[in-house]
Amino acid sequence: MTTRLQERLGELAEEVRVVDMYDRVIRGSRRVTVRNRVVASVAAVVVMSGTAVGVAALLPLPVPPQPSPSVTPSPTPPNVDIRDAMFEVPEFPGFPGGDSWCPAANRWFGDGYVRAGGRADNAISLRMIGPLVRADIDGVPGDEILVELECTKPLGLTRGQVLAVKITPEGKYVSMDFVLRSPDHATFMVHDGSVRVESGTILVDVLGPNQDAVVRVFDLQTRGYAYRNGEFVQVSGPTRFADPPASYRRVDFRNVTACVALPNPRDGVDTGVTRIIDGKGVVTVAGVRYELTVVSSAIFTQRPYGVMLLRLQPDSGLPVTVVNSYRMYDSVPVPCGVDTTALVGIDGATKVEASGGTLKVTVDGKVRTYREESFGSLRWVSSA
């Protein structure tokens, strides 16, 4: 993605042990015992009327071995994590004329990364993102692995897709195909960690098509895909993205896809992405789920800023009130980005206003005035 929206989720590689059980059928032979009364000693020779009769013990006949029942072997888990494995990756889609940044080739990944071309200081790369998802998606015994994969050039030019990889009975990784086969676009901004499988359908949250240089389309959608007749097809969800507003001044904050930011003591803010409809939404930030309400919003006329006053109610605990600020331009009218900031300590706030370069927040009936910490910083400090 052009801008990383959340911290990378922890890597997850499942280890599965497969044990083949064979039923052994043992058939015992009938033992025939002939009891003979022997006079004087065992195996004696009795002479009667000049005729010798030999008496011998009858032994059981050997039984030929029976074939074991036929058992179909289960795929053996590879000895290495797919993040540190070599396997063929098909040509990354979305490049007309065969001019792919990441052409088909055997790729040897190390910690989920491999250089796909270019110089070491200007490399094109393939990178695995987010947790791996393991599920049966083709109806054939044995699971497949779904990998969120990005093909990236320098300067942040990125193509996103989901690759399905099969595990052979011999325990090898074999690529099936890319999953996100939609009629409108070939690659997408995939919402990190959103890939999952429900009732045989692969569900993926996408934020828009990949866009070079600027992001105008920012429209959170859930699309569903299935493997049918040897290929992936879209089976649910929208097949096009909403057109962006002509100007950031026309953004409707009550009906928008937006980043939601909360401060953390480590490195600034934690963010989540949600689709807000009629001022309501659900967002997960730093692993906590919140019910979201847009209390108030404002757009600056002299600076390309937009602000939202949000009330976030976690599943348990007290609500959080926060003002999120966004740097927005007519060329990038999306409420999200590296400049998203959060202002807290305003419990009881009911309204935000933009006046020139000043932010006004009404708290418990009193207006608090904030100014930028430094010009263009989007960090607000009290001017009282």
Residues 93-118: tens digit of each pLDDT: 877 666 678 899 999 999 999 998 77
pTM: 0.75
CA distance 371 to 350: 19
CA distance 230 to 156: 33
CA distance 326 to 171: 48
In contact, 88 and 175? CB cutoff 8 Å: yes
CA distance 53 to 221: 97
Nearest to 171 by CA among 70, 69, 73: 73
Please state the domain extents for the chain. Answer: 82-236, 248-382
In contact, 194 and 205? CB cutoff 8 Å: yes
319 token code pair: 């609500």
- Residue 123 has a pLDDT of 82
- Residue 168 has a pLDDT of 85
The owner of tokens 């042990």 is 17
What are 48's strand-pairing partners? 51
In contact, 220 and 275? CB cutoff 8 Å: yes
Amino acid of residue 173: Y
Residues 126-161: tens digit of each pLDDT: 999 989 999 999 888 878 999 999 999 887 788 999
pLDDT < 50 positions in the chain: 1-61, 68-72
